[in-house]
Structures are given as C-alpha cells and as structure tokens.
Amino acid sequence: MPARLEIEGGVPLRGTVKVSAAKNATLPAMAAALLTAAPVTLGNAPDLADVRTMTRLLETLGGTVSRRPGGLSVQVAGVTSDLAPYELVSTMRASVLVLGPLVARHGTARVALPGGCAIGPRPIDQHLKGLGKLGAEIAIENGYVIARASRLKAARITTDLVTVTGTENLMMAAVLAEGTTVIENAAREPEVVDLATLLTAMGARIQGAGTARIEIEGVAELRGAVHRVVPDRVEAGTLIVAAAITRGDVTVTDLVPDHISSVLAKLDEIGVVLETGPTWVRARGPERLRPADVTTSPFPGFPTDMQAQVMTLLGLADGQSRVTETIFENRFMHVAELARMGARIETDGAIAVIRGVPCYQGAPVMASDLRASAALVLAGLAAHGTTIVSRVYHLDRGYERLEAKLGGLGARIERRA
Ligand code: EPU
C-alpha cells in the first residue's frame, strides 16, 4: 500500500522551521545543465521525488547527477540521447523543460507530449510556438514533439499567455541562439529570475528577468556554475498557513518575504498576525479567522500553488469567502476531500464559495495532486481527531521532509507504510 500520513489534529504549532530550496527553481536549473559540458552545482537542491525524476531524465540524456550533502551537481559532458521518454514525462510534466536546452545545444530533441494531469489539460503550445520562432522545425509524431535546428536564431516572441515553464524553456533556448531574442509577456515568477541568475553565472547575457520583457543576447557557449537555488515560496506559504490554522506561533526562516507578499497580504486580511524580517516571517493564528476573497493570477498575484492551502484556512473563517482559480481548469480536487472533513464548499466552474465552519473533523482522505495534498495535511493539523491522508507520494514530489518539519513544531504526524 502506498504511504499514508496519520495526523492527530488540534495541536497549536510552535517554534522555528526552515524553508528548503524551491522545487520549481531546482527543476529548470537542472535542465539548464544540458546547455554546457561543464558541471552545474546546486548547493542546496532539495531532496524530492520530482528532483529524482529529473535526475533519471538527465541520466537518460547522457548526464551524470551526483548527490552531495545538501545539494547536487549535474554534468552533461556529452548529450548521448535526445529522447525524453513518455514514462518520465508522464510522471512529471516539468520534464518538458529539457526541450529548449536540448535543441539549443544538441540540435535535436524528442520529448513526449505531457498530456493532461490532475489539475487540467496544460498544453505546451506556447513552448512550441516560441521554439518555432527561434527557427526550430517542430513536428508531432506518435505522441512526441520532435524539434530540430542547426543553430537557433534570435526572434521576438510574444507569448499568448503567461507561462512559467514556457518562459524558462524559451530563455534556455535563446541563450545559445544567434542574435538578441526578446520575450514579451514573459512570466515574472521568482523561479524565472533564479534561472536567469544561474544562466548568467554560466555566461549567458540576459536582461529584464522578473519583468514582462526579457532580452537575451545569444552566446556561442556556456560554462559551468555553482548556484544556490531560491527558497521555496510555496513551502514557506504552506508552513505559515500551518501556523495560522492551528492557532500556533511559528517563525518560518530562510525565505524571501517579497516572494510571498500577495499571500501575506491575504493572510493579514484573514486576521493572521504576521511579523516580517529580512529572511523570516513569524505567524500567529488568531482566535477568529475572517473570510476573504482570493483570485489566483501570475506573479506577483496570488499564486495558484497556494490556493488549496488558503482555501482550507478560509474553510474555518467566520463567514463566507470566495476563491476564483484563473490559472488551471481543474484545481479544486481538494474540495470533495475537505467536505469529508466537514468543510462547506460549493464550486461552480472556476469559483468556489466557502462557508466557514467552526472546526474540521478528522477523516480518511485521499491526496490527488501536490498542493491538494498539502491542503489535506493542513486540514488534518486543525481537525478534531485523526486524519489519514493516503497517496502522499503526491506530497513527496514537492515538499522536503514535510512531516519531520511539522513534527519539529509539535504536530502529531506519522508516516505509515
Ligand atoms: N498554458 C497553455 N499553453 C502553454 C503553456 C501554458 O495554455 O504552452 C496554460 C496552462 O495550461 C495553464 C496556464 O497556461 O492554464 C499557466 O501555465 P504555466 O505554463 O505557467 O504552468 P507550468 O509552467 O506548467 C508552473 C509550475 C506549477 C505552477 C504553474 C503556475 C513548475 C515546474 N511548475 O507550471 O507548479 O502551478 O507554473 O504558477 O514550475 C506545483 O508546483 O504544484 C505546480 C503545479
């Protein structure tokens, strides 16, 4: 039977907890190692299932990945295969991040189309359209994207929508293209900025990362680099909500408060007592949580990756809240499971109306995707009685030692095989 988490709810969390490096910055940073024959060292890469999947993928392409204390090093001395197989891409959509760097360095790439996932169809048309503009020939054959180019050529690309991994893929392709590429309507997420920082350390010339217009002057070759990955803002937000939902008092450290300002502003509105330092946030849960309306949007807006966790908090607020999910079509999978714990939430398309209840009751629940799993753990921490969250492999994809971190704050949480 896959592992489960058993949580005895009702303990206010107390203490200090450190945030790990961001999954969504580590995965593109690992893919960026495909752009050079020299090693790329990520001193603080987290130990996560998705990082292990990216490791397997880079190994199938000819890379070696060595785990070192607290981090890892990737070297792709030579690309020996251009095939990102369906078995890997279907377990982790972020595998598509190898597409841009493979075409740029190796001249060809065959990457399985990711298809749908639990949170929606998630196409990659913007990645392909952008690569096409950079001069790659793109074909779809038997469920695979086949991309070819002798040398990519700079282009002006305006994406039709804001896409995080799309922006990252195009940035990684453009760094080795001939001439100066401009990406308009680029994603402004901190993970995009972190990738630009790494690529710059590797010798790339990039301006404007963190704004909607990124300019990349192509270079002939990149070198290796040593990089520290940006802190995980979603883990930070999740831990802050854990403090709030248990009416605890927790200081979350090693984070960048500016990366979660939209989340902090919303939590403040809900009544969470927050104190912010340069690299930490202290959060205390109030007796009474106020309702609030939340709409997800690209950075610096409220992140879709925090929607399920904050909805879980709003489920205990004194009144009615409304959550609108604008990024993914099907990201309310946690709602039916929260209902099993006593939440009163109704959804209509992209909108969820939440009528606060005084408490959740422990129940067996099932995780469906990464952030939905985190939401169920949060509900379990607050609930009366025992909650068993099954299918925690979803959680293990993106949270490093979450139960150990929560246990360190006093939570009664155990992993059962
Ligand atoms: N989209 C398209 N065409 C494209 C690309 C995206 O229609 O070519 C759509 C998507 O279907 C979605 C929206 O655009 O509706 C935004 O998707 P985006 O491409 O920004 O998402 P992503 O790059 O696939 C990353 C994170 C996600 C996070 C989203 C949004 C990584 C590895 N993944 O996904 O993280 O939710 O950005 O911020 O960076 C998670 O960590 O739990 C997670 C799902």
User: Residue 118 — pLDDT band, cuts 50, 70, 90?
Assistant: confident
Residue with tokens 């155990």: 414
- Show the tokens assigned to 248: 């605890």
pLDDT beyond 80 at 120:
no
Q: How confident is the model at residue 69 (pLDDT cuts 50, 70, 90)?
A: confident
Q: How far is the CA of 163 from the centre of ligand 1 (A)?
A: 6
In the chain, the amino acid numbered 412 is R
Q: Give the pLDDT of residue 81.
A: 97
Mean pLDDT of the 93-115 span: 95
**Which of 20, 23, 24 maximizes ligand 1 atoms within 8 Å of its Cβ, making it the mutation to test the pocket?**
24
Q: Averaged over 25-33, what is the pLDDT?
A: 98
Count of other CB atoms within 10 angstroms of residue 66: 12
Nearest CA residue ID for atom 40, ligand 1: 305
> What is the per-residue pLDDT for 330?
87
pLDDT digits over 216-258, tens only?
A: 999 999 999 999 999 999 999 999 999 999 999 999 999 999 9
pLDDT of residue 121: 74
pLDDT at residue 299, as a whole number: 98
Q: Is the CB of 222 under 6 A from ligand 1?
A: no
Could you tell me if the CB of 53 is within 6 A of ligand 1? no
Nearest CA to ligand 1 atom 7: 123
Q: Is the beta carbon of 373 within 6 A of some atom in ligand 1? A: no
Q: Would you list the DSSP string of 240-293?
A: HHHHHHTT-EEEEES--GGGGHHHHHHHHHHT-EEEE-SSEEEEE--SSPPP-E
Q: Report pLDDT for 329.
A: 87
Q: Is pLDDT of 282 > 80?
A: yes
Q: How far is the CA of 335 from the centre of ligand 1 (A)?
A: 21
Structure confidence by residue, pLDDT tens digits, 283-322: 999 999 999 999 999 999 999 999 999 999 999 999 999 9
Q: Which residues contact 403 (CB under 8 A, 6 or more apart)?
A: 5, 411, 413, 414, 415
Atom of ligand 1 nearest to the CA of 97: 32
Helices 190-201 and 23-32: angle between axes, nearest 10 degrees:
30
Cβ atoms of residues 350 and 311 within 8 Å: no
Name 73's Cβ contacts closer than 8 Å, sequence gap at least 6: 39, 40, 41, 42, 65, 66
Please check the confidence at residue 343 and state whether its pLDDT lies above 90: yes
Residue nearest to atom 13 of ligand 1 (CA): 327
Establish whether residue 371 lines the binding site of ligand 1, counting it when its CB lies within 6 angstroms of any ligand atom.
yes
Would the CB of 410 count as within 6 Å of ligand 1?
A: no
What percentage of the chain exceeds 90 in pLDDT?
95
| pLDDT tens, position by position, 344-377 | 999 999 999 999 999 999 999 998 999 999 999 9
User: Which pLDDT value is given to residue 116?
Assistant: 67
Percentage with pLDDT > 70 across the chain:
100
List, by residue number, the catalytic residues.
117
Residue 68 is predicted with a pLDDT of 86
Ligand 1 neighbourhood includes 333 CB (under 6 angstroms): no
Ligand 1 binding pocket includes 124 (Cβ within 6 Å) = yes
Asked if residue 131 lies in contact with residue 170, where contact means CB atoms within 8 angstroms, the answer is: yes
Looking at residue 71, the DSSP 8-state letter turns out to be E
pLDDT of 1 above 90: no
Among protein residues, the one whose CA lies closest to atom 2 of ligand 1: 123
CA 210/CA 193 separation, integer angstroms: 5
Protein residue closest via CA to atom 31 of ligand 1: 24
Rounded mean pLDDT of the chain?
A: 96
Is the Cβ atom of 272 under 6 angstroms away from ligand 1? no
Instruction: Report which ligand 1 atom has the smallest distance to the Cα of 50.
Output: 32
Relative to the CA of 94, which ligand 1 atom is closest?
32
Indicate which residue's Cα is closest to atom 19 of ligand 1. Answer: 163
Minimum-distance ligand 1 atom for the alpha carbon of 120: 11
